[in-house]
Amino acid sequence: MTCRNIDPLSLDETIDEGKEETDVEKRRSSVWEHQELAQIPIKVLRGHTDAVTSCHFCFDDTKVLTSSHDKTATLWDTESGAPLSVFERGHLSNISECALIPDKKRLITASWDKTLNAWDLETGKIIWTAAQGGLLTSCSVSEDGKYVVSSSDLENAICLTSADTGERLVHVKDHHKSTITRCRFDPQSQHVASVSEDRTIKLWDLVSTKTTLSINSTHTNVISNCCFTANGRYLCTASWDKTLQLWDVQTGTFRSHGGLTLSKGHDGSVSSCAFSMDGSVLVSGAYDRTVAVWNMETLCKTLELKGHADWVTDVAISADKKWVASASKDATVRLWNMEHSEEIPAVIETRKAQGMGYHILQCEECGKAFSISRLENSDLVTKCVFCRLKTETRSHLQPPPLSSSVLPY
């Protein structure tokens, strides 16, 4: 169990012997990528030797934390794109996910070797190791820094662990009928959301230690990931059916109409999703090697980011929305500079095509999304045009003529 501190001015430690100088220079510099009508400056973070499984912005967006199938976790400098510390030799198998406890300067890693590790970010030493029952597929830290939740493929279970000591507090077996792909604390540290290959969504309550909400989603394939808005009201789920769905878990409107579906964003299975801090932007990654940026006011994709050579496995967005991070099976992390994205031609063209003068609402009768002009009162228009037409048709139907047998004489 070691932590390599890397001099940001010299990346020699992360470069194999025999690499040409041009490769070294490439690793030290920002790279520009672009798609048609767009130009997004990016930094490519290279250092992992296998698929990168998770990425997170931390320390006021000045750092990026990643984990990988190469059994390591790495802390990077956002500005320079240089690796600062590599946490290694703490696991015997792939690290599936990592999480941070900022106030305690601790790093949590979950691994296929059936263990959770808590690392000291400054010394690189492992503070505690918690053995779990099976291969760990995910982990999450509560906002208050007190708890770690992890999901295991053994008994399709979730486990609540003390972030201070590594002590197991609660073990919930058979939480799902199939493998749990992701577990997430809500921002209020009151519930744990989990999604699964069984296509269900569950909310587990920390106080009652019981499942308080179970949703049979309309996803037609594995639910791969989930994320909350900062206020905890909405949960987004990503699926291998190539769509994302939005669930209002506080008001429960999905009970009558289901979740709102975001489609036509990816051509491949969606692997990941993340909301901006203010909830105005959603970012998703997929196995089609792309990252999609969504406007949450219109529920439309505004930009597609291309450049990865393999599956996108995770995404994150900085608090100020200036950076989007994407992790990939191609062993790299990309930092996309979104600071001036509103000005680039691709976004402008997309806005024109989508008609930004409209609101996107959910029909209270059929549950489908529909658009109305911003000039219309959204409090008065609550149904899509088709449901309104049906209602009007029913209300204007004339009574049937009386039979001749009952006509008065």
For Cα atoms 102, 336, 87, give the angle at the middle one, nearest 5 degrees: 40
- CA dist 272 and 288 (Å) reads 12
pLDDT of residue 390: 65
Residues 31 and 38 sit within 8 Å (Cβ to Cβ): no
> Residue 19 has what pLDDT?
37
Confidence of residue 396 (pLDDT cuts 50, 70, 90): very low
301-336 confidence digits (pLDDT tens): 999 999 999 999 999 999 999 999 999 999 999 999
> What pLDDT was estimated at residue 285?
98
- The pLDDT value given to residue 9: 40
Instruction: Give the chain's domains with CATH numbers.
Output: 34-354 (2.130.10.10), 359-390 (no CATH)
Query: What pLDDT score was predicted for residue 315?
Result: 98
Distances (CA, A) of 317 to 38, 44, 64, 297, 383: 19, 16, 11, 17, 34
Distances in Å between the Cα of 339 and the Cα atoms of 4, 62, 87, 306, 397 are: 32, 15, 31, 17, 56
Q: For 129-137, what is the mean pLDDT?
A: 95
What's the pLDDT score for residue 80?
93
Residue tagged 């820094």 (tokens): 145
Judged by average pLDDT, the poorest of 77-81, 346-350, 386-390, 392-396 is: 392-396
Distance from C-alpha of 253 to C-alpha of 247, rounded to nearest angstrom: 8
Report pLDDT for 227: 98
Structure tokens at 187: 């921002």
Structure confidence by residue, pLDDT tens digits, 48-72 = 999 999 999 999 999 999 999 999 9
Decide if pLDDT at 377 tops 70: no
Whole-number pLDDT of residue 360: 59
pLDDT score recorded for residue 20: 38
Neighbour tally for 122: CB within 10 Å: 11
Using the predicted structure, report yes or no on whether residue 346 has a pLDDT greater than 90.
no
Please tell me the predicted confidence (pLDDT) of residue 256: 76
DSSP 159-186: EEEETTT--EEEEETTSSSS-EEEEEE-
pLDDT confidence bin for 138, thresholds 50/70/90: very high
CB under 8 Å to 33, separation ≥6 — which residues? 40, 42, 305, 306, 307
What average pLDDT score do residues 385-397 get?
56
Residue 220 CB-density burial (10 A; 0-12 exposed, 13-18 middle, 19+ buried): exposed
Output the average pLDDT for the chain.
85
pLDDT 10s digits, 75-93: 999 999 999 999 999 999 9
Supply the pLDDT for residue 37: 43
The pLDDT of 242-253, averaged and rounded, is 93
User: Which pLDDT score, from 0 to 100, does residue 340 have?
Assistant: 82
In the structure, what pLDDT confidence band is assigned to residue 12 with cuts at 50, 70 and 90? very low
Choice among 1-5, 74-78, 404-408 with the minimum mean pLDDT: 404-408
Share of the chain above pLDDT 90, in %: 69
pLDDT of residue 36: 47
pLDDT at 372: 58
- pLDDT at residue 386 in the model: 66
Q: Say what the pLDDT of residue 366 is.
A: 75
Residue 5 near residue 122 (C-beta atoms within 8 A): no
Q: What is the structure's pLDDT at 365?
A: 76
13-48: per-residue pLDDT in tens?
332 333 333 444 444 434 444 444 447 889 999 999
Whole-number pLDDT of residue 8: 47
Model pLDDT for residues 214-231, shown as the tens digit of each residue: 999 999 999 999 999 999
pLDDT digits 0-9 by tens, 146-202: 999 999 999 999 999 999 999 999 999 999 999 999 999 999 999 999 999 999 999
